[in-house]
Amino acid sequence: MTDSRAEVLRQATIHKLRKEYPVQEDRSILEAALTKADSSLLRGQWRYTEPLDPTLQNKTIVTISGQSYSVNDFFDYVRQRQQPPRNPALPTANTPTTSPTAPVLGSPVVAMHRLFDRFVSDRLISTEEANLEKKSTEFRTLMSEIRDGVLLSQVMEENVWERSMVDSTGQRQFFEQHKANYRLPERAIATLVIAQNDSLLKQATSVLSGKPPYQLRRSAASVSFDKNQTELTQSLRETLFDILVVMGHNPDYVIEVTGSHDPSERDSVSANRIRNVVSYLQKNGISLGRIMEKDYQGARPGVSKDAQRNVTFQYFSNAKDDVVKTITSKYPVAAGMPPVLSISEGAFAQGTNPYLDAIDQWKVGTTTLHRDNKAIAVIINRIEPARAKTFAEARGTVINEYQAMLEKQWLSQLRQTYPVKVNEAEIQKLVK
């Protein structure tokens, strides 16, 4: 359908259909209709007004397999299907030209006749489509299946599906009547850390052993202040801009802002430096909830005298996945290979996870396993005892089972209205 071969196939189809469906053209009406074409047709702007003159108004221009089509039908088709020339610069037959060899797009009558041929072809195809169910057993069977499927879907929607979804009172009643069926088994709320080796596992578990936010192996460039300086210069703001970018790209990140001062400065200097940095981050879209402050209130240990005047930054994250990303950033993995470190977490019941099943007795804490050539840490945060589900927890299952009950009731009503009698003897013949 994307090149000229499509037209070849179309013409072959039309040639076959002309033999199958009689086409009778009224030549006098056709010739009179063609005279209504003018140069506006070549521009794709042809129009006609109704009623037409008595010789054409609602006159049959062509009959295809007993179906008549009027001049009005054809003119409607022309109005909708006419197209402007692809190269408007080319002259038409009614456009004066000084060059006797200049290309001409054709006369309006020729263009109208081409549209008539197309009109007849389209109507032949429509006739074939209308008769497909009569001609093709396979197509008739397919259409019957589609109709039956649509009707069944509509009646199921009205009697079962929609009712089960919107009938909150019925859902609640069904839940209360079958409450014993909706229970949660004992579950471990756990985090699974799966690493390629013990070294990677140790790096991950050392970070994840505490509470979020988790410290990442990622920091930002520090900003250096002169002695007793607390205000941010343009240069310092440009350095802080990198932090804005990182925080914007990582919504779970938290930034720790750390300050100190050298022994010759006032105690308030480090606090003012931290306050100005935090204020800049807040004004540029970083909420206070994503900023932690740490003030040494004097010299910080292990740092030179000049570095005491720096404000430093350390990234943390509330997302365990960010911990994985920072640790594995130094370990590129080839395409198609499993990750060197992965984390999953959730509520696990017995029989749902092989690593948790490998632990004889669940208890809060970390258990290290070695299976499948991997080092695994199972971190159990808490153990939830078996209990009944709340309606909110069971609602999805309740809707499905309530729907099944409604369908069963509806089918029972249908069987009472339309009794079914099965000939068992004939069924047994089919089995044989």
Q: What average pLDDT score do residues 159-183 get?
A: 91
| Domain with residues 213-317, CATH architecture | 2-Layer Sandwich (3.30)
Helices (H), 181-255: 198-208, 234-249
Mean pLDDT of 211-225: 90
DSSP state of 161: I
Residue 103 pLDDT > 50, yes or no?
Answer: no
- 381 phi, psi to nearest 5 deg: -85, -40
Q: How far is CA 322 from CA 50, 210, 418, in A?
A: 72, 15, 63
Which residue would you say has higher pLDDT here, 59 or 262?
59
Q: Which tokens go with 346?
A: 């959730």
pLDDT range class, residue 88, cuts 50, 70, 90:
low
Whole-number pLDDT of residue 370: 92
The helix-helix angle for 5-20 and 108-130 (nearest 10°) equals 70
Instruction: Say if residue 104's pLDDT is above 50.
Output: no
- pLDDT band for 369, please (50, 70, 90 cuts): very high
Return d(Cα 216, Cα 325) in angstroms, integer: 9
* Residue 149 neighbours by CB under 8 Å, 6+ apart: none
Phi first, then psi, for residue 109 (nearest 5°) are: -65, -40
How many CA atoms lie less than 13 Å away from 363 in the CB half-sphere? 3
Nearest to 395 by CA among 181, 175, 187, 180: 175
Own/partner pairs for 45-49, CB < 8 Å, 24+ apart?
A: 45/82, 45/84, 46/78, 46/79, 46/82, 46/108, 47/79, 48/75, 48/79
Q: Which is more confidently placed, 120 or 95? A: 120
Tell me the average pLDDT across 5-23: 91
- Residue 62 burial (CB count, 10 A): 21
Mean of pLDDT values over 322-340: 82
Structure tokens, 304: 């030179």
pLDDT digits (tens, 9 = 90+) for 250-308: 999 999 999 988 888 888 888 999 999 999 999 999 999 999 999 987 778 777 777 88
- Are 162 and 341 in contact, with CB atoms under 8 Å apart? no
Q: What is the predicted pLDDT for the residue at 100?
A: 36
- Asked whether the bond before 185 is cis by omega within 30 degrees of 0, the reply is no
Contacts of 237 (CB under 8 A, 6+ apart): 280
Q: CB count, 10 Å around CB of 415? A: 10
Burial class (CB in 10 A: 0-12, 13-18, 19+), 284: middle
Arithmetic mean of pLDDT over the chain: 88
Q: What are phi and psi of 9, to 5 degrees?
A: -65, -40
Where residue 87 falls among pLDDT bands split at 50, 70, 90? Answer: low
pLDDT higher than 50, residue 389: yes
193 is written with which tokens?
A: 């850390």
Q: Find residue 224's DSSP bridge partners.
A: 310
250 exposure class (CB count in 10 Å sphere: 0-12, 13-18, 19+) = middle
pLDDT digits (tens, 9 = 90+) for 31-44: 999 999 999 999 99
Q: Is the pLDDT of residue 97 over 50?
A: no
Q: Note the helical H segments in 178-293.
A: 198-208, 234-249, 268-283
Provide the pLDDT for residue 50. Answer: 85
On whether the CB atoms of residues 318 and 252 are closer than 8 A, the answer is yes
